[in-house]
Amino acid sequence: MQDQAYKLRLLAQDLHRQVEEELKARARTARVITVTSGKGGVGKTNFSLNLGIALQKLNKRTILIDADLGMANVDVVLGLVPRYTLYDVIKGEKEIDEIIVEGPDGLKIIPGGSGIQELANLDRERLESIITQIYRLDGEADLIIIDTGAGLSQNVMSFVLAADEVILLTTPEPTAITDAYGLVKNLFRHRPDSKVYLVVNMAESDEEAEMVARKLEIVTQKFLQAQITCLGYILNDPHVARAVKMQVPFIISYPSARASRRIKEVAARLVDVPDYGEEKGLKGFLDRMLAFFGRRQ
Ligand SMILES: Nc1ncnc2c1ncn2[C@@H]1O[C@H](COP(=O)(O)OP(=O)(O)O)[C@@H](O)[C@H]1O
Ligand SMILES: [Mg+2]
């Protein structure tokens, strides 16, 4: 009898711990997604900004953080002149939620500090403090998109490794592909459970983009025993450069241009990623718990 009471108590304790863990996990609801690339100039900033707007259009509350420290330019692409930037947060003079500006379609933007050399060489402590602040934005968004610089610098890798998910952008240029693979390799070495998506940008055709994606998928599988998921292809589109000149995101200035249509598809796929469905989180847990008790009656 005593033995049974003891077992029940253990079971209750165990359940209590599970509920606590689940609630803790539940408290963090925003998906934090870093956009990065091996090589520079492949279109990360344009992609991130237009993706953010596309997500807003899908009724997902989105925050875009310009974390290309040292060469921030979301503000330039948008024609914004922000009063405060991440630089003020790093100096400890502002909290991250005080520097948010509103962009198109209600997209929230955290501007980066343009051309400030100090930002490109942050020490570990300051980087960690920014990342902690980013996680504090949690309840205010469904998705947090972080636009980073290119390559394997410590700054970029910190953002890449801190995120739940990573979108890797590449063009069909051989150097961009090689550098993309270098980044993937580094990423999986540091974090074997990384969730990595691929987007091929500026391809001349779907066939060309598909070849790039297959190549990267195959080498990642063969040499790293890891998987990357392709989210789509954004073709080379002259509307992108035109929109940059006008300082109006292409998804707004040219909504039916092929780049805009593809960005919308990528946003829809991102929202649909099965791991983040309704059955996860607290509801899933409660369902499992009820099923568990049901079996015992
Ligand atoms: N799909 C595209 N088609 C044509 N040009 C593009 C496309 N995506 C980006 N570009 C151009 O590439 C250049 C670099 O883009 P940007 O977003 O600043 O790249 P990154 O942030 O990776 O440095 C810009 O001049 C932009 O107009
Ligand atoms: Mg950029």
Q: For 55-113, what is each residue's pLDDT tens digit?
A: 999 999 999 999 887 776 888 888 888 999 988 888 889 999 999 999 999 999 999 87
Domain count, the chain: 1
Percent of residues, the chain, with pLDDT higher than 70? 84
Question: What is the tens place of the pLDDT at every residue in 110-150?
Answer: 998 766 666 666 777 777 777 788 877 888 899 999 999 88
Residue 78 is assigned to a structural domain of this protein: yes
Tokens read off for 241: 């450069």
Percent of residues, the chain, with pLDDT higher than 90? 54
pLDDT on residue 293: 46
Q: Which residues contact 181 (CB under 8 A, 6 or more apart)?
A: 38, 216, 219, 220
Tokens read off for 226: 């890891």
Is pLDDT at 37 greater than 60 in this prediction?
yes
Query: At 29, is the pLDDT very low, low, confident or very high (cuts 50, 70, 90)?
Result: confident
Can you list the positions of beta strands (E) in 151-209? 165-170, 195-203
Residue 5 is assigned to a structural domain of this protein: no
4-8, 147-151, 193-197, 255-259 — most confident range: 255-259
Which of 46, 146, 242 has the most ligand 1 atoms within 8 A of CB, as the residue to mutate? 46
Ligand in closest contact with the CA of 37 = 1
Q: Whole-angstrom Cα distance, residue 269 to residue 265?
A: 6
Is pLDDT at 280 greater than 50 in this prediction?
no
pLDDT on residue 10: 72
User: If you measure from the C-alpha of residue 59 to the centroid of ligand 2, how many angstroms do you get, rounded to a whole number?
Assistant: 25
Residue 162 is assigned to a structural domain of this protein: yes
Q: In what order do the strands lie in the sheet with 101-102?
A: 101-102, 108-110, 62-67, 143-150, 31-37, 165-170, 195-203, 228-235
Query: At 281, is the pLDDT very low, low, confident or very high (cuts 50, 70, 90)?
Result: very low
Yes or no: say if 216 and 180 are a contact pair by the CB < 8 Å rule. yes
Residue 9 is assigned to a structural domain of this protein: no
Ligand 1 closest atom vs CA 201: 1
pLDDT on residue 288: 53
Q: For the ranges 120-129, 185-194, 197-206, which has the lowest average pLDDT? A: 120-129
pLDDT on residue 151: 83
pTM of the model: 0.84
Residue 221 is assigned to a structural domain of this protein: yes
Provide the mean pLDDT of the chain: 85
Q: Distance of CA 14 to CAs 19, 20, 229, 274, 284, Å?
A: 9, 10, 36, 28, 17
User: If residue 176 lies in a helix (H) or strand (E), which one and from where to where?
Assistant: helix 174-190
Ligand 1 closest atom vs CA 234: 1
Question: What is the tens place of the pLDDT at every residue in 261-276?
Answer: 999 999 999 999 876 4
Yes or no: say if 73 and 46 are a contact pair by the CB < 8 Å rule. no
Residue 13 is assigned to a structural domain of this protein: no
CATH number of the domain within which 230 lies: 3.40.50.300
Yes or no: say if 203 and 173 are a contact pair by the CB < 8 Å rule. no
91: Cα separation from own chain's centroid? 25
Cβ density class 212-222: b for 16+ within 10 Å, e for less: bbebbbeebee
Residue 15 is assigned to a structural domain of this protein: no
What are the two backbone dihedrals, phi and then psi, of residue 28, each rounded to the nearest 5 degrees?
-100, 105
Burial class (CB in 10 A: 0-12, 13-18, 19+), 173: middle
Nearest CA to ligand 1 atom 23: 41
Residue 23 is assigned to a structural domain of this protein: no
216-221 average pLDDT score:
97
pLDDT on residue 20: 66
What domain range is 39 assigned to? 29-292
